[in-house]
Amino acid sequence: MPHFPPMPSWDALHPLIIHFPIALLLLCPLFVLISAILRPAMSRPYMVASLIVLFLGTGSLFIAASTGEEAAELAERGGAMSAVLETHEHLASEAKIAFSILSAILMGIFLLPRFLKPQRARLSSTVLPIVFLLVYGAGIALLVKTLTPAPDLCMNLESMQ
């Protein structure tokens, strides 16, 4: 009978789980861009895919933040370590809020054609997604900034050992 390794604790899952939201949130703009390039009649499936990927990415961001909070409780704090952890936690909270807002905006862009006249289809299928991508760039910048304290944290942990 095979023996499986034990399931890691919730706090130990943070380094594993954090890669899911990063990958999904970086993939979403690709689908939005494809949707914006195609004619309105053909763009809808790509917009649905971008919504699904964004919702999954945002949801997994909340899970990653939860595991990170648990991991932070176990970390030894002091001096630079404490400052790095606090910055990382603050930026993670801002990222959760930002991607929740971006999810709502993209849902609005997706639903907008139902309320517009057919002549305005190009506005909702091309112009708004491109404007969304520009705003989404700020979310990506925040996500990258959230990850930057992590290498410092690892270096501090290694030097403490």
The pLDDT value given to residue 98 = 97
Domain ranges of the chain: 14-160
Question: For each of the chain's 161 residues, which pLDDT tens digit applies?
Answer: 677 776 766 666 777 788 899 999 999 999 999 999 998 888 889 999 999 999 999 999 999 988 888 877 776 666 667 777 788 888 999 999 999 999 999 999 998 888 777 666 677 788 899 999 999 999 999 999 988 765 555 555 555 44
CA angle (107, 121, 35) in 5-degree steps: 55
Q: What predicted TM-score, i.e. pTM, was given to this entire model? A: 0.82
The pLDDT value given to residue 134 = 96
The pLDDT value given to residue 161 = 47
Residue 3, sorted as left (phi over 0), alpha (psi -120 to 50) or beta, turns out to be beta
Residue 79, sorted as left (phi over 0), alpha (psi -120 to 50) or beta, turns out to be left
